[in-house]
Amino acid sequence: MKYICLIYEDETLVPSRPEEEMNEIMGAYFAFTNEVQAAGKHLGGEALMPTETATTVTIRDGNRVTTDGPFVETKEQLGGFYLLDCENLDEAIELASKIPSAKWGAIEVRPIMVFD
């Protein structure tokens, strides 16, 4: 079954991290990616640009409205995702717990809906 692991963290903390810490974090991400690729679990994933680059699109009364930035303000922002092929939710949770941002942010694990 396919699961998406949505990575949430406070993006305002990134600029304040020392370069050495950022290199360590990125190394941990590369190691995790290599692990799930080697296990045949990795179906995709990407890091996202900061929320300041986002555009939110809504339709109200038949009119398209665009707003710069995210639609809602939250403490943690969606920073990226992994799409994984897992046997079950337990395996997806096990792998999600290895995503580095789980240590300071949150990883939301959701099954992918299958349409027949």
Listed in sequence order, the residues at least 6 apart from 81 whose beta carbon sits closer than 8 Å to its beta carbon are 4, 5, 6, 7, 45, 46, 48
Tens-digit pLDDT profile for residues 60-71: 999 999 988 766
pLDDT at 75 over 70: yes
Q: Is 27 or 15 the better-scoring residue by pLDDT?
A: 27
Residue 72: pLDDT band with limits 50, 70, 90 = low
Listed in sequence order, the residues at least 6 apart from 107 whose beta carbon sits closer than 8 Å to its beta carbon are 5, 6, 7, 8, 96, 97, 99, 101
Tracing tokens 């929320």 back to the chain, one arrives at 51
Indicate the CATH number of 2-111 among 1.10.274.10, 3.30.70.1060, 3.40.50.10420, 3.40.50.720: 3.30.70.1060
Which structure tokens are listed for 102? 């789980």
Q: Where are the domains of the chain?
A: 2-111
Q: Is 50 or 90 the better-scoring residue by pLDDT?
A: 90
State how far Cα 32 lies from the chain centre.
13
